Homo-oligomer: A and B are copies of this chain.
Amino acid sequence: MQVKSGMNDKHAGLGMDEAALTEQVADAMKAASRAYVEALVRDLAVAGYTGLTPAKTALISRIPADGATASALAQVASRSKQAVGKLVLELENAGYVRRIPDPDDKRGQLAVLTDRGRQVVEDGVRIKARLAMQASAVLGEERMERLHRDLEALTRLLASRF
């Protein structure tokens, strides 16, 4: 926004530091998001739920009780149909999901949770709640919310800067 003004010289000494700062922050964002997902997957593995990956855990938690088509899941998960189809297949092989013919559409399959699938989703919610409590214990809720807001503000800035 203030980029138009030619006051580059003023920041000459700080330019490097500021650049390093944002890049470090970007690295920190990536590290933190990875750490979160890995903690979730690891805790699930500890609880006995094997064969899960970050992408699969993210997808399975979005399967409603009455099932969903791959296309519907693709929409809510912002993924391609192909990507979802593959993940659903792997979730089926791992025993968390069963695919049944869609009674309303002979083209489609309905992905429904197995008993084990329902269990992993339930335990996933518990694990996420525990992670949230631990995070709040360290930062506090207010700080978590500000973190969330600031991250979204940065995302908006960086994305809409086309």
Residues of A within 8 A of B (CB): 1-3, 11, 15-16, 18-19, 21-33, 35-39, 42, 125, 128-139, 141, 143-148, 150-155, 157-159, 161-162
Q: Are A18's CB and B129's CB within 8 A?
A: yes
Complex Cα–Cα for A139 and B133 (A):
27
Copies in the complex: 2
Q: Are A158's CB and B21's CB within 8 A?
A: no
Q: A23's closest neighbor in chain B, by CB? A: B128
Complex Cα–Cα for A153 and B140 (A):
12
Interface residues of chain A: helix, strand, loop or mixed (majority): helix
A–B Cβ pairs within 8 angstroms, 9 of them = A15-B129, A19-B128, A21-B141, A25-B144, A26-B33, A28-B151, A28-B155, A29-B36, A139-B153
Q: Are A157's CB and B134's CB within 8 A?
A: yes
Q: A139-B153, A153-B139 are in contact. Are A132 and B19 (CB under 8 A)?
A: yes
Q: Are B39's CB and A29's CB within 8 A?
A: no
Q: A22-B132, A25-B151 are in contact. Are A2 and B137 (CB under 8 A)?
A: yes
Q: A46's closest neighbor in chain B, by CB? A: B162
Q: Are B36's CB and A22's CB within 8 A?
A: yes
Query: Quick one: which of B39, B141, B150, B152 contacts A158, CB cutoff 8 A?
Result: B39
